[in-house]
Amino acid sequence: MFDVLVYLGLAILATAVLWRGSQWLEASADQLAVGYGVPAVVQGAVIAAVGSSMPELVSVIVATLRHGAFELGVGAIVGSAVFNLLVIPAASVLVGNGGMATNRDLVYKESLFYMLAVASLLLTFSLAVIYYPLEGEGLQGAVTRPLALFPLILYGLYVFTQYLDAAEHEGVGDATVDIGRAWLWFGLGLVVIIVGVEGLVLAALGLGDAFGTPAFLWGMTIVAAGSSFPDAFVSIAAARSGRASVSLANVLGSNVFDLLVAIPVGILVAGTLSITFAHIVPMMAFLILATIVFFTIVRTEMRLTVPEAWTLLALYGVFVVWLLLESVGLSDVVPT
């Protein structure tokens, strides 16, 4: 019991460190967007999204290289994506002005790439099981570096479309912004985030050992929620200031980055990595369910309302309950 309390305390401390790093990173990303004069949707979907998604990217690299737990990193990515879709927009509505307007660029263009990101990652894992099978219990496969290039190429297409949008925008950068200083704070925020992620990964591994459960289940909760703080901070701040397009674009852009870049980069850094299909599929299935519910809600009247926000939070509650049942052995959807 003492060990559990120690690891929970470590997770809380690491989250606080991430919070500080996210503040620096969010402020510097906002300055960079203003300095370069990019449109609001591009600011949210690329600059703010990439910056606030650094914890997820670092979590995959740290979990893989330092602890040999690639599936924990994948669990953190998927759990973070669910958290971003269900909790952050809901919190932005409830903390903000009681509602958040959407637009067709967000609902159609961003949603298209996001759904492609989910499908391409699941396809990548499926190809690994089909073409590079491994011996062991259940379906296992090796995700190779060539396979990892497929989602990265798709992200390149995503960035290219955002570039075209920015090129059509006639905004002018603010010459008063100190670009060099903004990049410096961006880098410092990233360093602090790396420290916080290391603490979260250690906490997830420790809790997995303490309860005798796969560490990736804790990655989907502890690491995912903690690493999503930068996304939450950026999105809620944008929503409260009346920039709904930045808030929602950050959520979708962060998820696209996490799925198409964070996981493949972990593979490219570490080389061939093994996955267990029975672990991956239930996680991806719930992510697809959350995706369907989210886009159905934001499409209605092009507005996210307070009742709809509570619906998203309720679904996330179902997600957490499912993971708790898995962790104590009352559910066997994910084999231990």
Residue 313 — pLDDT band, cuts 50, 70, 90? Answer: very high
Total domains in the chain come to 1
Looking at the predicted structure, is the pLDDT value of residue 312 above 90? Answer: yes
Is the dihedral angle over the CA atoms 73, 161, 37, 101 positive or is it negative?
negative
The model's pLDDT over 80-91, given as tens digits with 9 standing for 90+, comes to 888 888 988 888
Residue 233 lies in a domain: yes
Average pLDDT over residues 299-312: 84
The pLDDT score that the predictor gives to residue 314 is 94
Residue 146 — pLDDT band, cuts 50, 70, 90? Answer: very high
Looking at the predicted structure, is the pLDDT value of residue 101 above 80? Answer: no
Range of the domain at 193: 1-327
Looking at the predicted structure, is the pLDDT value of residue 315 above 90? Answer: yes
Of 196, 235, 244, the C-alpha closest to 91 is 235
The model's pLDDT over 264-283, given as tens digits with 9 standing for 90+, comes to 888 888 777 788 887 778 87
Taking the CB of residue 264, how many other CB atoms lie within 10 A of it? 25
Residue 232 — pLDDT band, cuts 50, 70, 90? Answer: confident
Residue 13 lies in a domain: yes
Average pLDDT over residues 236-241: 72
Residue 333 lies in a domain: no
Residue 130 lies in a domain: yes
Cα(first)–Cα(last) distance of the chain, in Å? 21
Which of 56-60, 114-118, 144-148 has the highest average model confidence (pLDDT)? Answer: 144-148
3-state secondary structure the chain: CHHHHHHHHHHHHHHHHHHHHHHHHHHHHHHHHHHHCCCHHHHHHHHHHHHHCHHHHHHHHHHHHCCCCHHHHHHHHHHHHHHHHHCHHHHHHHHCCCEEECCHHHHHHHHHHHHHHHHHHHHHHHHHHHHCEECCCCCEEEECHHHHHHHHHHHHHHHHHHHHHHHHCCCCCCCCCCHHHHHHHHHHHHHHHHHHHHHHHHHHHHHHHHHCCCHHHHHHHHHHHHHCHHHHHHHHHHHHCCCHHHHHHHHHHHHHHHHHHHHHHHHHHHCCEEEEHHHHHHHHHHHHHHHHHHHHHHHHHHEEEHHHHHHHHHHHHHHHHHHHHHHCCCCCCCCC
Looking at residue 49, which CATH number applies to its domain? 1.20.1420.30
CA–CA gap between residue 27 and residue 205 (Å, rounded): 32
The pLDDT score that the predictor gives to residue 139 is 83
Residue 332 lies in a domain: no
The pLDDT score that the predictor gives to residue 153 is 92
The pLDDT score that the predictor gives to residue 24 is 84
Query: Higher model confidence: residue 46 or residue 321?
Result: 321
The pLDDT score that the predictor gives to residue 149 is 92
Query: Higher model confidence: residue 125 or residue 101?
Result: 125
Among 36-40, 71-75, 276-280, 329-333, whose mean pLDDT is lowest? 329-333
The model's pLDDT over 9-39, given as tens digits with 9 standing for 90+, comes to 888 898 888 878 877 877 787 787 777 776 6
Residue 168 — pLDDT band, cuts 50, 70, 90? Answer: low
| Alpha-carbon distances, residue 72 vs 37, 69, 225, 231, 273 (angstroms) | 38, 5, 13, 20, 12
Residue 335 lies in a domain: no
Indicate yes or no: pTM above 0.85.
no
Residue 336 lies in a domain: no
Mean pLDDT of the chain, nearest integer: 79
Residue 142 lies in a domain: yes
CA–CA gap between residue 49 and residue 272 (Å, rounded): 27
- 258, 177, 238, 261: CA torsion to nearest 10: -10
